[in-house]
Structure 1
Amino acid sequence: MIEVRIPKMGASTVEVDLTKWHVSTGSHVVAGQVLAEIESEKTTIEIEAEIAGVVEEICLPEGSSTEVGTVICRIKAT
């Protein structure tokens, strides 16, 4: 199982908003597939799956504000 975390986005960015999910619990994903979009004060970034697998858990709902490094979902490798 891999934990997908909010990536570091810059020296001054501490908090981001999770604006959109492109997957749901139980979704099959491939490496490189967009999982979610996050937004900071300066930019919007797409978070991609690092591995192929099944989304086992979504840890934050859309619209959540969270810190860099927070786990947003877990993917079980297939």
Structure 2
Amino acid sequence: METNEMILAVTGMTSDDCAPVEQALKNVPGVVAVEMVYPERFVWLTSTTDVSIDALNDALASTSYEVTLLLGCC
């Protein structure tokens, strides 16, 4: 199975409570792994399909967080 990997910056994260971000991103269709890296405030995300930044931010709409692409596809 081919996968896509992205490194995402997380804005708005001010504590090490990464669970809301991790759970929301894992619920996006195609996402198979999410690794939070705090205090650097970034996410290593693996998906089996192309996942847009808009789709990821839509999943985070109920949180105070937002992601931007640092490295990878989409």
Both structures adopt the same fold (TM-score exceeding 0.5)? no
Highest CA radius of gyration, 1 or 2? 1
TMscore range, shorter length: under 0.3
More strand by share: 1
More helix by share: 2
TM-score, normalising length: structure 1? 0.26
